[in-house]
Amino acid sequence: MTSFTGVLDGLCAQVEQDEALQTFCKEKLGTEIRVRAIFADPDGHIERLVPMILVTRAGMSPTSASRPEGSHEVNLNCCFKGGDFGIRDDAARVQIGLEERVVDAVMKDPGLGGLALGTVFLGTEACQGEFWPYLFTTIKFSINHRRSCSYV
């Protein structure tokens, strides 16, 4: 298998190309959602990014002492502007629907087209409207991966 960077690229493509997710976003957010493996907007202008899923790798735990394989914790950090819904109750429902569709998009193919050994859904953490009108949800996964190398 390739470097884990290839897994991140494959994850981004799999989520961004999910028809159910994009249909939901068009209906509820008025536009498709973009998925990128970046940390943040270098200019700090969040309004240019939303709706957006920023994919980050939080860390890696080796699963073998003698092989280059491990369990990578990956976060899909979803952000959208909730002010377009008028009241927080509607935005909270959209936030939950977005979480569910992102999880479905990832778990539809846990091997990410052969790039990973498997994926486990770990859970979510959502803001409670404290950054209104922007809403944030972090969806956590563990992705098992074995990297090709010359010493094995």
Q: What is the pLDDT of residues 17-74, one digit of tens each?
A: 999 999 999 999 889 999 998 765 555 666 677 889 999 998 888 766 666 678 999 9
Residues 73 and 58: beta-carbon distance below 8 Å: yes
* 4-146 CATH fold: Alpha-Beta Plaits (3.30.70)
Cα distance between residue 130 and residue 110, in whole Å: 33
Which residue blocks in the chain are alpha helix, DSSP H?
Answer: 4-16, 19-29, 88-107
Determine the Cα–Cα distance for residues 134 and 66; give it in Å rounded to an integer.
45
In this predicted model, what pLDDT tens digit does every residue of 82-123 receive, in sequence order? 866 666 678 888 999 999 999 999 999 999 999 999 999 999
Q: What are the residue boundaries of the structural domains of the chain, listed by start?
A: 4-146
